[in-house]
Amino acid sequence: MERAPTSFDPRVLAKLDGLRLRARHIAEGYLVGAHRNPRAGFSTEFAEHREYVPGDDLRYLDWKVFGRSDKFYLKRFEDETNLLCYLAVDSSESMAFQGPNSGMSKWEYAQCMTAALTWVVLRQQDAVGMLRFDDRVRHWIEATNRSLVLEQVLDALEQPSPTTKGLVGRAINEIARRIERRGVVIIISDFFDDIDEIRSGLRRLRHRHCEVVLFQLLDPAELDFPFDVPTRFRGLEGLGTLRVNPVSLRAAYRQEMNQFTQQLDACCRELSVEYLLVRTDEPFDQTLRRFLVRRRDA
């Protein structure tokens, strides 16, 4: 049996054989830490309660919780406590990029994050669904809190790697049209598309009263452009090849990339969408913690 590493570094986890082993290590390792800090997950400390505010109906006060915590909490009904979460993961060709110093491609990182988040949501007895998209939605797994959904998600993620051009904005619009119940929609992508198209899709999701979270995955090489010798670059989505001296382009490239991420961030703030920029060399536990702690504090 392959022994799981103690590190959450993508370069270390890449040595594990298969998505299932990687995802299990990330999720269970994170949940061990979350157990020490019970407020680190999707839910609050009292998952089936909410804190009393003036004007609430006193009939629903839970006096047992008051005795344990010395705080007033109200019992919540089932439709208030069940989280519905959809994980939308970009499987377009640009997600296959892997820089020279990276342990995983963007797609492999997205696979691991999607599987680990599925695991975490299910452990909290909430409902989770998943979909893959490129220029349109390719797989759609309805949200459920039954454990069988994890195997369905893993099977879908293990389908052949990305080969199709991405149209992120169009795919988000399709998701907004098809989603039937409001909940949390987490979109994992590099978001290499027109910002206005992305804004259109996000606005439509928000109009459906969905809470939306964007994980923008970028390889360190895409952000830093570390190349220092004449190099032939190949476009990942049918853009051909180009031989250039990267040193002469580095400053302009970084400025353009920085402007792009800032525009996406501004778009998210405009629509009250949560935005996280994630480098694919960031340890998985840090990414999960950054996201879940931000949700707790929101």
| Cα separation, 260 vs 241, whole angstroms | 22
Q: Which helix (H) or strand (E) holds 275?
A: strand 274-279
Q: Which helix (H) or strand (E) holds 207?
A: helix 195-207
Q: Contact 103/13 with Cβ under 8 angstroms?
A: yes
Which CATH number among 3.40.50.720, 3.40.50.2300, 3.40.50.410, 3.40.50.300 corresponds to the domain 83-297? 3.40.50.410
Q: Residue 85 contacts by C-beta under 8 Å, 6 or more apart in sequence? A: 42, 117, 121, 126, 127, 128, 129, 143, 183, 184, 185, 186
pLDDT value, residue 162 = 62
pLDDT value, residue 55 = 63
**Which amino acid would we find at residue 69?**
S
Q: Residue 112 contacts by C-beta under 8 Å, 6 or more apart in sequence? A: 10, 13, 19, 22, 23, 26, 104, 284
| Cα separation, 235 vs 262, whole angstroms | 23
| Cα separation, 39 vs 286, whole angstroms | 16
| Cα separation, 182 vs 273, whole angstroms | 14
- DSSP secondary structure letters along 133-167: ESSSEEEEEEEE-STHHHHHHHHHHTSPPP-S---
| Cα separation, 187 vs 191, whole angstroms | 9
Phi-psi region of 225 (alpha: psi -120 to 50; beta: other; left: phi over 0): left
pLDDT value, residue 39 = 39
pLDDT value, residue 289 = 85
pLDDT value, residue 22 = 83
Name the nearest CA neighbour of 60 among 157, 245, 119, 52.
52
Q: Contact 76/52 with Cβ under 8 angstroms?
A: no
pLDDT value, residue 49 = 62
pTM of the model: 0.80
- DSSP secondary structure letters along 211-274: EEEEEEEE-HHHHH----S-EEEE-TTS--EEEE-HHHHHHHHHHHHHHHHHHHHHHHHHTT-E
pLDDT value, residue 45 = 37
Tokens of 90: 């970009």
Tell me the domain boundaries of the chain: 49-78, 83-297
The tens place of each residue's pLDDT in the chain, 298 residues long, gives 444 455 688 888 887 778 888 887 787 776 655 444 443 445 433 445 666 666 666 666 677 776 677 777 766 554 444 689 999 999 999 999 999 989 999 999 999 999 999 988 988 889 999 999 999 999 999 999 999 999 999 999 998 876 778 899 999 999 999 998 889 999 999 999 999 999 999 999 999 999 999 999 999 999 998 887 667 776 665 666 777 777 888 889 899 999 999 999 999 999 999 999 999 999 998 898 888 878 766 6
